[in-house]
Structure 1
Amino acid sequence: MKKIILPALIVVLLTAACKKSSFEDSGVNDPRFNGTIMEYLESDPLYFDTLVRVVKYAGLEETLRKENLTFFAPPDPCFKKILDAVNDYQLTLGADSVTRFEQVKPEVWKQFLDIYLFPGNRGLKDYTQVDTLALDTYKGALFESVNTTPMNIGVIYNDAVSGDPNTVGGSTIIKYKGYRQLMLSYVPDEAFPYSNWINAVVAASDIAPTNGRVHRLRYMTHIFGFDPFRFIQAARERGIDYTKQ
């Protein structure tokens, strides 16, 4: 079985993630970026080298340079995960492995990239609270991506801890008073819009290029496309091009 060829940069990224906890939460930085969404992605190859190449291959480069959008950007390891899933399925069929993302048709990549793109410029403050354990009260809100895929977007209000657990009286958990974090959720069935979500948590929010907003997803808990089987099905239906080596 052939192995997937991916940039060595992913290995660096995965190693660095073990050393920097800030990669896992919504770190606070200057959100402004003097350039377009595409230029921002190009400026950060540590996270987005593969994403940039997939965006260009899918024909979305001009869209990210010119249109006013909110982009929940999946970092590079998310792409390795989906290609690993494709190849696991290929193995069960005795089929050849996918060794390059270009072997999957560009329209497939575009279909699934569009899930992460939303019209307009929305930051964390523009979304309502979501709590997956209390959806009757805090359900976020449903939005359509640019290709009309139903998605839920909401803000997780984490709990805060007050006091020292090692002292008399211990610590106190204060509900919903901790840091806030965006969450993008794929809705598998429009008839049941608050059931069986596949969630992607944002690691860094409110990056502000000149033509919209970028929210970087937490790669450690996300696979590109949300539902691997849907991606695999789309890739196989459109045909995998093994001539691209």
Structure 2
Amino acid sequence: PTTAPPTTAPPTTGPPIDATPASQAGLEILHGIPDTPVDAYLDGELLVGGFAPGELAGPLDLPGGSYDVDLYAASDEPAATADDRSDPPIASAELPVTGDPGTLVITPTASGEVQLQTFTDDLSPVPAGDGRLTIRNPGPGGVSITVAAVDGGLPMEVGLEPGESFTADLPAGDYVVQITDEAGNERLASVVSNVEGTLTSATAILPDVGDAELLLQRISDLGTPPDGIPTGNSGLLPGSHGDESTGLILAGIAALGLLALVGRQRLRNVE
């Protein structure tokens, strides 16, 4: 009798990530605290209720200045103002806003407290045929990031301390992003589509307990490529376009148990 060779199904990704046009970009808020839905208030007014982990709110068109942000444990019927709450906030911070597009990332610290960090988006023009990939490390620890094209391109490796980010303009296509923590443990590996003329921001959420995640955002219309420029494989399942090297890379990652889903968050518009 013959034995069929083992097969590796291509990994699935989350739902497609809707891109915000550059003309509409503003401040977005990314919720990265695992298992902790919150009600978020801006200058005492309810901004978004029932804000779920992995969810993205915005964009907000805020003039430059300083704003008070308060987060409360989510309630079924959140009060319209923070003054009407009887429970204490789980986090409060003064948020400086420049008026430039960016993301406020909410994550836990090593001690279990809540921290808020702002990352600015680079919306300068992207060369034809390229997409812009940004990887953020909100912490709590330092990480090593490896980015490699799934078609066998040479990998890049960079270290990021908490609060740092890495940005590169790369040929459009699919890339494997691997993240190793400062203790040398490989925490996740994900396939990210780098879309032509688009900023793709990937925020690493690396809790001490629980699964690591890579949460994505996109801002489009950063370049108008001429006809005939390759645009990569955006929108395809990794490994589904017949590239043998892609399948081998993904099979190796899957064997390590590190393959993470990306793009779970929903964009919630805030009036």
What is the TM-score with the length of structure 1 in the denominator? 0.29
Kindly indicate whether structure 1 or structure 2 has the higher relative contact order, using CA contacts under 8 Å at least 6 residues apart.
1
Q: TM-score, normalised by structure 2?
A: 0.27
Higher helix fraction (1 or 2): 1
* Structure that is richer in strand per residue: 2
